[in-house]
Every structure is written in C-alpha cells, then in structure tokens.
Amino acid sequence: PAVEFAHNDAKAMRDYLLRQGYRKGNIIYIKDTSQAQLSAIFGTKENHKGKLFSYVRQDESDVTVFYSGHGVPGLKDRRGYLLPVDADPNLVELNGYPVDTLYTNLNKIPAKSITVYLDACFSGDSPKGMIVRATSGISVEAVAPKKVGKLVILTAAQGDQFASWDEDAKLGLFTRHLLEALKGAADGEDFGNGDGKVTVAEVEKYLDEEMTYQARRRYNREQNPTVQGDPNYVLSVF
C-alpha cells in the first residue's frame, strides 16, 4: 500500500531544515527511493563511503537523516528494513535496506552530530493493510539494533505497532508532532523548561503525550515513539 503523505513529510522536513540554516545544496532530497539510491547515499555493508560520507566536513557538519515510508521485518532474519519502491516486501532480505547497516555506516561518518528521524514502523502492517503477504498475519517482530553509537534516533512506533497518518494535516502523525516539538512546543509548559532549546528528552515527552494521545483518540490504537541517544542533546534552538 502507498504511504499516502510521505512526499508531504519529506517536503515539510526539508522546509524546516532550510529555516534552521541548512543550505539547499547540502540537502540530499530523494522521493520514491530505490535500493540503489539508498546504497549510493548511505553505503553498503561492504563500503560505508556513500554520497553522504563525501558531503561531511569532519567534526564540523551536523547531519540530519529523515525517512518517511514503509519499514518491514525480515521474515527469516528478523532485522528491520527500509522498503524501497522497487523492493518485494516478501524478499526484503534481498532487496530492502537494512536499518542496522544504516546505523553502522552513519556511525562511521566523522560528523559533529548525526540525528535520525524515521516515520516508519517495522511491523509488516500499515493503515491500508498488510505489506508482507501472510496467511495468518505477521508473527515476526523486527529486532531493533541496540547499539546506536553516537547517533540520536527517533522513530514513529514501537514493536508491532504501526505508524499512523494525520489525514487533516496530510502528514504522518509522527512527522506532524515531531515538527511541532522541534519548533518549540516541546520546550513549553508541561514538556520543557522554557529555555529556548529543545532537547531529546523534551521531544520524547511531547511525542509520548501528544502523538500517542492522537493515535488513540483518532484510531483507537497505540503508537509510542522509540528514542535512543543522549536525552540532553539539543535538537533545535528557537
């Protein structure tokens, strides 16, 4: 099934980064990505020096990685995979892009900071139906990489949950609330300390309360973010 608002998510994040001071020429912006494009940007298991590696100035560059789309579990290896548009989700071990490879390769990039946002889940399910064909549903839960190194990672859902959409905003529910949080809502009353800086811990609290509530109210389902990395790391200043 199509990820209905993925293009909107990508554009909204790009616009936010431009307002944060990222130069347009420093944003690698790919829609409907193929496996070959993901490998070219982030590298492979054998070679981590993809396009992104070449863009980075050692100990100077702040890197943001944002992905909106399907994630699926490997039915045999139980790894999480990003699902390119040219992939067969039932053969994702062959033609998907492994999340653990993404994290491993990003950790080899000598940037000052690297933040990863994934508006995706890895349950094999979606708001428009099953992604992986199975006679009795998916019983495989992708095992998330436990060692994330220097990365800060925020993803849209946990375990067997799936990432919902906000049909009013025409964005992923995670993307909508993430952007609200980064623009200052997470530093406000009830969530932060009002110092004009949005930390990982503040964003996590905001998503835990606001995004999770909206998923329950709108769709009667649980959706909780996963957050890994230094809770005191500052994600945005406003």
Q: Which residues pair with 114 in a beta bridge?
A: 63
With beta carbons less than 8 A apart as the criterion, state whether 195 and 211 touch.
no
What pLDDT sits at residue 20?
A: 93
Residue recorded with tokens 């932060």: 192
- Rounded to the nearest 10 degrees, what angle do helices 35-42 and 99-107 cross at? 20
Cβ-based neighbour number of residue 65 at 10 Å = 18
pLDDT computed for residue 129 by the predictor: 58
pLDDT at 3: 77
DSSP symbols for 174-202: HHHHHHHHHTTGGGSTTTS-SSSEEEHHH
Q: Are strands 171-172 and 97-98 parallel, antiparallel or unpaired?
A: unpaired
Q: Looking up tokens 């019983």, which residue turns up?
A: 139
Per-residue pLDDT of the chain (238 residues; tens, 9 = 90+): 777 799 999 999 999 999 999 999 999 999 999 999 999 999 999 999 999 999 999 999 999 999 999 998 888 888 899 999 999 888 999 999 999 999 999 999 999 999 999 999 887 655 565 565 553 444 455 566 667 889 999 999 987 788 889 999 999 999 999 999 999 999 999 999 999 999 999 999 999 999 999 999 999 989 999 999 999 999 999 8
